[in-house]
Amino acid sequence: MHQSKTDKAILALADGTVIHGYAIGHRGTTGGELCFNTSMTGYQEIFTDPSYHGQLMMMTYPHIGNYGVSSRDDEARKVMISGLIVRAFSHHYSNTMADGDLDTYLQRNRIVGITGIDTRRLVRHIREKGVLNAVISSETDNEEELVKKAKEWPSMVGLELASKVTRSEPQTYKPADFEDLFPQISQTAGPVDELADDTGAFPPTGTDPATVDSTTSQPAAAESSKSQASAGQQPLLKIAAIDYGIKQNIINSFLKRGCKLRVFPAQTDFETIIEWQPDAFFFSNGPGDPNPMDYALETVTKAKETGKPLFGICLGHQLMAMSEGMKVMKMFVGHRGANQPVKNLRRGRVEITTQNHGFAVDPDSVTDQLAEITHRNLNDGTLEGLNFKQFNGFSVQYHPEASPGPHDSSYLFDEFVTRIRKHKEENT
């Protein structure tokens, strides 16, 4: 269904700024922290990234919707942003691989949006004022009421949101489930059970639901190991991934490297996790402020005590740093886009990265005894990566799994796999 430009909408900011435009997507009122993303492509991956849960997304690239949407581009089962702001929305698309148009997609997911906004001007406003809460409405023209709602909208500071986007039950992913996506992988998958989960997590793309494991039974894992051994294959590396809002392409990145993943809900007790006998631990990205996440810090601390390798991305990076006594601070604006330059201080090379975060580890809280700073953002000098000295772990603030790209930092997954194999060999 094509929306008429006669359908008006209003964007109201907490500082009293009011901007008029035209409605797109679902008709209603929504609010959240107003942030902007500088990516030129990948809008669907952005909208479905759980790290954006509860935020209003403004796209700085002017034309949005012109290549439609495709189910295989989703990073989670549902749209995570609370609202959308664009300069020029396209109701028509040109893409033979698309499943449909973006406006219908937004309506189906009940996402309120506004188009016709001078996004360049609004970005400059945010960069001068800092992060602001805002409200979009296509059902009322009462500016005073909308500004009041924006002022009353909860601040992201102190908000624990990982529990809102995590899955409800553990799921196991195996490389064999992805042979259609990664033909170079050939491993044997044991029989597993179906999992129904409406929290945003979903079974592997293109996979029969019957191949997704929702059980914790050890016999199935043992049977799978036996079949691999009989085929002369090396046992799969087992990684326990803690889901604070994990993106599908993170899962894909591990599977592509021949790893077996069991993804656990955010608040799973560590005893349940360790029963699976993982070779390593991964702490995922996610939304909100890490400071109230005491339950997650407890999990990280217990994982460190095992001596096994740890890897964290984005929110997981912040949690690993906090477990060592480092501080995490709210940023003035944040980093969101696919063109953030980061210098790998070890290699002396610059990587173009995808980022999405409004919090960052305070570099002044990092000491030489605790960790080595391995990566720095070249735009503002913020800390982007750590190699820990008191335990076997490393982490990055940005997204090496970035979909649709860039892929300059994908080597970090290889480094993690190398650490796991080395640890296994030394402890055999």
Just list the catalytic residues.
314, 399, 401
Tell the burial category of 370 from Cβ atoms under 10 Å away from its Cβ (0-12, 13-18, 19+). middle
Beta-bridged to residue 69, according to DSSP, are: 100
Q: β-strand 259-265 against 237-243: which pairing, if any?
A: parallel
Distance CA 253, CA 263 (A): 14
Distance CA 313, CA 71 (A): 24
Residue whose structure tokens are 């294959």: 233
Give 3-state DSSP helix, strand, coil % of the chain, rounded to 5.
Answer: 25, 30, 45
Helix (H, G, I), strand (E, B) or coil at 272: helix
Tell the burial category of 233 from Cβ atoms under 10 Å away from its Cβ (0-12, 13-18, 19+). middle
Do residues 69 and 42 lie in contact, with contact meaning Cβ atoms separated by under 8 Å? no
Cα–Cα distances in angstroms (integers) from residue 360 to residues 14, 33, 122, 316, 394, in the given order = 24, 17, 24, 11, 15
The alpha carbons of the chain give a radius of gyration, in whole angstroms, of: 22
Distance CA 283, CA 246 (A): 9
Helix (H, G, I), strand (E, B) or coil at 175: helix
